[in-house]
């Protein structure tokens, strides 16, 4: 009986030690996981803030450039449209609308998977913004294509090539010119508004 009792005591002691060892291992693993999770969150937060800062720099440069270019462009287009409505019959000129918007940070974020850590609402707005940039870029290419196809080959011809002398309006062959000019000018203004609005949102995401 005494031997059996000792065996039971030994078993209990071993069992308690086993539980204690398992508990220590569990606490160690849990602590390591917890600390690793905190470290990953800190790394993600740091990475996210770096992306926001880079976007801020990119959008700040774009905003400054467009604030300088858009009023000049708008003035040129508005003057031409005013003269056209007055029947001045000015020769159509070649306009080249350059979109000075960099997409480096957005493209790098797409490729690296960094969008997973950025604010969802901001991602949605950025996606719409860059989609609009691509749309306007395509419109610019179409406009430039029409200029090369119809305008440049006839640029040295007299005004009768372009206008109906009686109505003082563009002939059908060139009727696209005013509409395209006005549309693209408005698109460029839209890009400026979206750029400034997004810059405010990006600033709000940056931690002080």
Whole-number Å distance between alpha carbons of 132 and 136: 6
Closest by Cα among 189, 201, 187, 194 to 55? 201
Give tens-digit pLDDT for 21-37.
666 666 655 555 555 55
CA distances to 24, 145, 182, 190, 192 from 187, rounded to whole Å, are 65, 18, 9, 5, 9
Residue 4 confidence class, pLDDT cut points 50, 70, 90: very low
Domain ranges of the chain: 2-205
pLDDT digits (tens, 9 = 90+) for 58-115: 899 889 988 888 898 899 899 999 999 999 999 998 877 666 666 666 776 666 666 6
């Amino acid at each position: 009986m005494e031997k059996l009792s000792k065996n039971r005591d030994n078993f209990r002691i071993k069992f308690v030690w086993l539980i204690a060892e398992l508990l220590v291992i569990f606490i160690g693993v849990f602590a390591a996981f917890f600390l690793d999770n905190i470290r990953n969150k800190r790394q993600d937060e740091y990475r996210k803030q770096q992306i926001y800062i880079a976007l801020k720099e990119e959008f700040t440069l774009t905003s400054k450039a467009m604030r300088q270019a858009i009023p000049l462009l708008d003035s040129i287009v508005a003057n031409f449209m005013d003269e056209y409505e007055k029947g001045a019959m000015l020769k159509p000129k070649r306009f080249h609308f350059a979109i000075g918007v960099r997409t480096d940070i957005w493209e790098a974020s797409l490729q690296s998977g960094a969008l997973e850590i950025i604010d969802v609402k901001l991602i949605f707005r950025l996606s719409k913004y860059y989609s609009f940039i691509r749309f306007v870029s395509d419109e610019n290419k179409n406009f430039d294509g029409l200029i090369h196809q119809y305008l440049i080959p006839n640029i040295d011809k007299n005004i009768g090539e372009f206008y109906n002398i009686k109505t003082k309006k563009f002939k059908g062959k060139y009727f696209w010119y005013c509409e395209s000019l006005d549309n693209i000018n408005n698109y460029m203004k839209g890009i400026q508004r979206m750029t400034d609005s997004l810059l405010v949102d990006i600033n709000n995401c940056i931690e002080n």
